[in-house]
Structure 1
Amino acid sequence: MRAASTHGQAMVEMTIVMLILLLLVFGAITVMQILMTQYTVAQAVRAAAHQAALLGGPDGPDGGLATAPGQVAESARLILDGGMGTSAARATMTVTCRNAEGQAVSRCRRYDAITVRIQYDDTPWAPIGPFDRIRADISATRAAERDQQ
């Protein structure tokens, strides 16, 4: 009776280990990109809400952040474009002003709630399984510090 040959077995085992290791590395890269995106978008929303509160309301139209005019959009755009792996071209922003009764109003008055919402959609650097999109939908609310002019 002859013993089974084990030549080449180490190569097969090493291939399996390398594939698992590669999957873990790509998964870690994707998770880090998701976390960085969430953090950067949250910072952009906070800065834009602060700017909107100082101005007393929105100073430009809602929509794509890459070309939106106004100081509120500019403050969010600077943070998103300065973030690692984020771009303002992949974000949309809405600014809503609500009075004390909670109704949306077109002109903010002092102490009305101003809510800034940024929606961000991107693809990961190393898409794996269920992580084929990176999405962030974050909002922040501040009280208007003056009447909108």
Structure 2
Amino acid sequence: MLEFTLNGAAVALDVQREAPDDAPLLQVLRGPLGLSGPRFGCGAEQCGCCMVLVDGRPVPSCTMALQAVGGRSVVTAEGLGSPAAPHPLQTAFLAEQAGQCGWCLSGILVSAAALLDADPDPDDDAIRRALDPHLCRCGSHNRIVRAVKRAARAMREGAPA
């Protein structure tokens, strides 16, 4: 059994039955665990679509071995907030219309959440550096930066984004 925390809940996975030995984390998140936030993009850590937080740090789940998360905490976009209580980033992204196709957004959201945990008042350059591993073809980059800044402001002020 492989045990870890996923979006705040304990998970015990029978890896013999539910995942091959060499399964990447992404395959199990989308397969047996039924999540759709992290997406498969390139499979080579080049696009950021599969980004999740492992112990608070953004990591690509497409190449991370499932076994590496034993005893650790994993957070996907689904774990950032809920429909009833969205994370300020989710609210800000909607308000700024920061997404178009949405393929990259779950990875961007978790990386932005890690950034705001480390730096509650990032400037544009810090935001762009934190989101550099993400490939977005929609051209939403400036709106994404505005959304992260809006969420940061809301989190600092304790107000809705």
TM-score by length of 2: 0.27
Between structures 1 and 2, the one with greater strand share: 1
Select the structure with the greater relative contact order (CA < 8 A; seq sep ≥ 6).
Answer: 1
Q: What TM-score does the superposition give when structure 1 sets the normalisation length? A: 0.29
